[in-house]
Amino acid sequence: MRIGGLASGIDTDSMIRDLMNAERIPLNKLQQQRTKMEWQRDAFRDINKQIAELERLIENMRLNSNTINPKKVASSMEGAVTATGSAAAGNGAYKIAVTQLASNAINTGNASKEDIEKFISENDGETVTFYTYGEADAKRGLEAGMQERSFKIEKDDTIDSIIKKIHAADKNVRAFYDEASGQFVMETKRTGDYNTNKEDEFGGAEIGFKSGESSFFTELFSMSNDQEQGGTNAKFTYNDVVELESKDNRYTLNGMTFTFHDVTGIDENNKPINATLTVTNDIDKAVENITDFVNKYNELITTLNGTQQEPIYRDFPPLTEEQMEEMSERQIELWEEKAKSGLLRRESIIPSALTSLRSTWSSTVDNDGAFRLMAQIGITTTEDYMDGGLLKIDENILREKLEEDATSVQNLLFNSSEGSSRGLLNRLEDSLEKTIGQIEQRAGKGSFTNQMYTMGRELEAMEKRIKAFEDRLEQVEDRYWRQFSAMERAISMMNNQSAMLMDFGGNMYQ
């Protein structure tokens, strides 16, 4: 602790504080420059995040063929069969007669809790085996056909722990026990007929038991292979001619994915009844998808353009910590709102990006489709150049062109070729990627070290200057204290000498 002014009566603390405030002015400016640069860096990164969101939307549109040419499928028997169509689905009517649904295999047995506990105690160490059927699964190292599953009964087991062992032995099997009724249920999780040999030792059962080695199932619960139910494929007829089967209640054919909910029934002549599914272009959905893209693009343009139109308030630099302590939260908020205005106004990356993005929409796509310009499908930039290249949609024209030739609209936007035939949204992605790269070179991203981008290097250099200035200020403050302390000592000595002289003079006249 430093205490000054004891001899002189001077408020040394205040004087040194005022002197240091004057000395600190260049440091405050350096810290304000650092804060402003950090704001600029973060503003650039926020723009890159917004660009990345637009890129993800474009990527999803490109990967989903239904974005520009979606199909809608109406069913005359929605309770029995529905369908969705990809862009490859041809418009028209299709007939589907569902004669059988896919089902899972299920088998049941009965035993009391007491019988189960007795069986476990008497069969400690016994290996229980059951058999299931399936298709080849390379990840699990399984081959197609019959697969042996087994587990051991241990003296500490309960019916719950044994059920867990069943689940562990085959993840396609589900089992449970209802204590109230004493009923044990074992079933396949997936539908379909995987054991097609009805003459094998299990009689075509999907979950097979062998007498002797499956006493847990066959003796304790009295389960047999012939009492299994289900394990069937879905069966249906396409356009009265093609008879097909599916292991589950879905099937993809001719660009359409059918979902079966029930059988379509039999008519009075004992013939399957057809459900009619009608495929048409879903123009409403296509317009919605394109509008979503245009809105997202316009959000980005508004952000970029806004950075170039924000006013710069030179009289509102970033606040120092001392200034913040003297202001309310609302005052700080209002101040920083002006201090952050126009952060990127003079950054050339933004105007360059706006020019590049705007030029995309006026370029020509050389392809075999009906459309070569964006304006031909009703999408143009606004007339006001100050908008920065916002897009607008003439929905009537867009609907007309989608109905006329949705494939050509798709090619105009997403043709993956290089050069003059490259689709407009592919070109837009190229431009966005270039802007992202320029911003990362200038402002980096979260995973970058400071040395990997321009602003980071500048911030590090600024940090070193600030640290050096702070060290110098400490030395200056120490010097002031030493000077004032020396002054205090001199004054104290003078006061002492004066007191001694006065004492000496007083003694002479006594």
Residue whose C-alpha is closest to residue 207's, from 187, 177, 182: 187
Torsion angle in degrees (nearest 10) through CA of 196, 201, 203, 204: -20
**Three-class SS of residue 109?**
strand
Terminal C-alpha separation, the chain: 45
Query: What would the 3-class secondary structure string for 247-313 be?
Result: CCCEEEECCEEEEECCCCCECCCCCECCEEEEEEECHHHHHHHHHHHHHHHHHHHHHHHHHHHCCCC
User: What is the arithmetic mean of pLDDT over 121-133?
Assistant: 92
The answer to whether residue 510 scores a pLDDT higher than 60 is: no
In the chain, how long is the greatest CA-to-CA distance? 151
Q: Quote the pLDDT of residue 469.
A: 82
Residue whose structure tokens are 């360059």: 352
**Mean pLDDT value across residues 72-93:** 93
Contact 191, 102 (CB under 8 A): yes
The C-alpha R_g of the chain, in whole angstroms, comes to 41
- Residue 505 has a pLDDT of 60
When pLDDT is cut at 50, 70 and 90, the band that residue 63 belongs to is: confident
| Predicted confidence band of residue 507 (pLDDT cuts 50, 70, 90) | low
- Per-residue pLDDT at 252: 95
Residue type, 256: M
C-alpha closest to that of 125 among 149, 150, 96, 153: 153
Q: Please compute the mean of the pLDDT values over residues 390-419 and round it to a whole number.
A: 92
Query: What 3-state class would DSSP assign to 129?
Result: strand
Phi, psi of 220 (to 5 degrees): -65, -50
Reported as half-sphere exposure (CB side, CA atoms, 13 A), residue 420 has a value of 5
Tell which residue, 95, 92, 71, 86, has the closest CA to residue 255: 86
pLDDT tens figures, 270-326: 999 999 999 999 999 999 999 999 999 999 999 999 999 999 999 999 998 889 999
Exposure pattern of 12-48 as b/e (b: 16+ CB <10 Å)?
beeebeeeeeeebeebbebbebbbebebbbebbbebb
Q: What is the mean pLDDT of the chain?
A: 89
Q: What is the pLDDT of residue 1?
A: 47
Spell out the residues 6+ positions from residue 133 whose beta carbon is closer than 8 angstroms to its own: 145, 146, 147, 194, 195, 206
Phi (first) and psi of residue 391, to 5 degrees? -95, 150
Among 9-13, 113-117, 156-160, 387-391, which is the least confidently predicted range? 9-13
Please check whether residue 11 is in contact with residue 479, taking contact to mean a CB–CB distance below 8 angstroms: no
What number is the average pLDDT over the span 248-257? Answer: 94
Provide the pairing of β-strand 275-281 with 92-100. Answer: antiparallel
- pLDDT tens profile 414-430: 988 888 889 999 999 99
| pTM for this entry | 0.74
